Amino acid sequence: MLTIKEALSKAREKLKQEGIESFWLDGDLLLAFLLGIDRTTLYIKLDERLSSEIESRFFEFIKRRSAGEPVAYLIQEKEFMGLSFKITPDVLIPRPETEMLVETGISLVSKMDRPVIYDLGTGSGAIAISLARNLKNEPHIFATDISPQALRIAKLNADRLKAKIFLLCSSLLSGLKGKADLIISNPPYVQRENLGRYEPQISLDGGIDGLSFYQRIFSQVRPLLKKPGFLVVEMGAGQSEAISKIAKRQGFKTIGITKDLAGIERVLVATLV
């Protein structure tokens, strides 16, 4: 049987050979998960030997990761905004850059009294739940998704994290009534030709140009947004100019664009003119 140190070394080399950039971190996360310990404890136990069962399961994970399967789906967990979310292939894996979207939303409504918030396409519930956990002004948060499977995961996460949100099975804004102070969304924005193979296509497919959901959101949102009120969306690389034009055509003005750490214009804030 291999020691933890030996198993990690072998796994990292395999992942590196397959072009997995996060080969070091991924090996640690997968083995720590199987052992039920954190990474710090993993390094304390480097000289301990693995059982044959754990060793076999670990290298099966490494095989799947080498083929491109995301770590979050293997361990069914992902950290976002300091919270641990249950993740399955039914939902998009929360990205670090989406934390900027949440932080922007918090800054816009944190001083309002009981703000009404709509989260469109909630998936795992990461955005809605993070808002609920970080806002102290009794927000009323409604989260929609067209996928019943995704909503099941969102409810599980809301229950686990003790977040008060209301979940609706609907496409974007359909089914919502009344006006919101904040409408927030990380819509599908990947161009159809660039879709990956593991995450749900419905959560990624933004049409041929990646902009189809922005067209729908900006055209539908006016009756449901207070004035003043804010519409905040996440964007892909190179999309900010086109989305700003979509917003303008629908009677909105762009009041802020935030770049992520890679310099990509990632979050757009618009309001009704």
Is the pLDDT at 204 greater than 90? The verdict is: no
At 273 the pLDDT is 75
Residues 109 and 183 occupy one common structural domain:
yes
Give CA–CA dist 165/139, Å, rounded: 9
Residues 148 and 49 occupy one common structural domain:
no
Q: Which amino acid is at 109?
A: V
Give CA–CA dist 246/252, Å, rounded: 9
pLDDT (tens digit per residue) in 106-148: 999 999 999 999 999 999 999 999 999 999 999 999 999 999 9
At 111 the pLDDT is 94
At 203 the pLDDT is 76
CATH number at residue 22: 1.10.8.10
Q: Considering the chain, what is the average pLDDT of its residues?
A: 94
Q: What is the pLDDT confidence band of residue 193, given thresholds at 50, 70 and 90?
A: low
Give CA–CA dist 210/173, Å, rounded: 19
pLDDT (tens digit per residue) in 61-71: 999 999 999 99
**First CA to last CA distance, the chain:** 67
Is the pLDDT at 195 greater than 80? The verdict is: no
Instruction: Supply angle C-alpha 107, 111, 116, rounded to 5.
Output: 85
Average pLDDT over residues 37-44: 95
Q: Which amino acid is at 266?
A: R
Average pLDDT over residues 40-50: 96
Residues 52 and 25 occupy one common structural domain:
yes
Average pLDDT over residues 1-20: 96
pLDDT (tens digit per residue) in 154-174: 999 999 999 999 999 998 898
Domain tally, the chain: 2
Q: Could you say which of 13, 48, 75 is where a domain stops?
A: 75
At 34 the pLDDT is 97
- DSSP letter at 51 equals P
Nearest CA-CA partner of 144 in 173, 103, 105, 183: 173
Q: Which residue has the higher pLDDT, 249 or 175?
A: 249
Residues 17 and 105 occupy one common structural domain:
no
Residues 59 and 97 occupy one common structural domain:
no
Average pLDDT over residues 77-94: 96
Q: Are 257 and 265 in contact (CB under 8 A)?
A: yes
At 202 the pLDDT is 76
Provide the domain limits for residue 47: 4-75
Average pLDDT over residues 196-203: 74
Residues 70 and 113 occupy one common structural domain:
no
